[in-house]
Amino acid sequence: MGNRAIAEIQFADYIYPAFDQIVNEAAKFRYRSGNQFNCGGLTIRAPYGAVGHGGHYHSQSPEAFFCHVPGIKVVIPRSPRQAKGLLLSCIRDPNPVVFFEPKWLYRLAVEEVPEHDYMLPLSEAEVIRQGSDITLVGWGAQLSVMEQACNEAEKDGISCELIDLKTLLPWDKETVEASVRKTGRVLISHEAPVTGGFGAEISASIVERCFLRLEAPVARVCGLDTPFPLVFEPFYMPTKNKILDAIKATVNY
């Protein structure tokens, strides 16, 4: 229609009534019409992830459901500066995009954000910490937890490379692969439950491409396979120490 629509879902936990429209309609609009029609002007924003007291329905990370849908893009910023640049790219991208914002960072994150217009590229992962012993891959709020684990690991002489995937669909395999070719080890961490989480896609892909280079199995430190619990949240979460233990196990494999 020539206009852009930016929809907001107040919590990602409530996005499911729109699932049919996103999967069956938005994702297939261009393809099914032979490119006569498209809904590239659509961007959907939704706060996602743990907030400390959100329970089942204010804490979910549903990115994996959407990463399984050719035709849409899935983008997750890790900080305020990233959020602005990525969101502007999403809005201007000629494809429908689902933009998950880590609600944990809403009141917490403080950063210098340029006032001018700027865009950050989609489908380009960023190496936010250089290292040589193991590659860590994550997105959103989880990156700061992973960074803390990297700092601790460094004290034990382990050099960690940390990658912010930023766009989960279509994801930047080249950057991750290049890093794994360097380190020979990879660990993925996300809040969403481990089974069927997006870490599984990254793991399978890296094994396909880097099998002979790998020195250890691909590690995943993720949420448990349960609904997101309230009182048990600290036990459910992929904590710094869980990640640290997995880094050491992978390096010492």
Partner 1 sequence: MASWGRRSSGMVHHIKALSKVELRGKAGAMKGGWWRYPVQPGVASALVPRSWPCVNTMASLFLVQRFKSSLPQKQVEDDDGDQDLDFPGGKVAYTSEMKFISGSYDKRIPCYRVLGDDGELIKDGSDFEKVNKELAVKMYSDMVCLQIMDTFMYEAQRQGRISFYMTSFGEEAATISSAAALTKDDIILPQYREPGALLWRGFTLQEFVNQCFGNKDDGGKGRQMPVHYGSSKHNFVTVSSPIATQLPQAAGMAYSLKMDKKDACVVAFIGDGGTSEGDFHAGLNFAAVMEAPVIFVCRNNGWAISTPTSDQFRSDGVVVKGQAYGIPSIRVDGTDALAVYRAIRAARSMAINEQRPVLVESLAYRVGHHSTSDDSTKYRSLNEIEHWKTDRDPVNKFRKWVELNGWWSERDEADLRSSIKKQLLKAIQVAEGTEKPPLTELFTDVYDLPPSNLVEQEKLLRQTVNKYPHDFPSDVSLH
Binding site for partner 1 (CB under 8 A): 13-14, 16-17, 52-58, 194-195, 224-227, 229-232, 234-236, 239, 241-242, 245
**DSSP H helix total and E strand total for the chain:** 9, 10
Location of structure tokens 């400390």: 52
Return the number of the residue (31 or 57) whose C-beta is nearest partner 1: 57
Return the number of the residue (64 or 97) whose C-beta is nearest partner 1: 64
- Positive or negative CA dihedral for 200, 218, 139, 60? positive
Smallest gap from Cβ 84 to partner 1, in A, equals: 25
Smallest gap from Cβ 23 to partner 1, in A, equals: 15
In 3-state terms, what secondary structure has residue 25?
helix
Location of structure tokens 């790998």: 214
Smallest gap from Cβ 119 to partner 1, in A, equals: 31
Return the number of the residue (38 or 144) whose C-beta is nearest partner 1: 144
Smallest gap from Cβ 243 to partner 1, in A, equals: 11
Q: Which two tokens stand for residue 124?
A: 């380009």
* Burial (0-12, 13-18, 19+ Cβ within 10 Å), 91: middle
Return the number of the residue (37 or 57) whose C-beta is nearest partner 1: 57
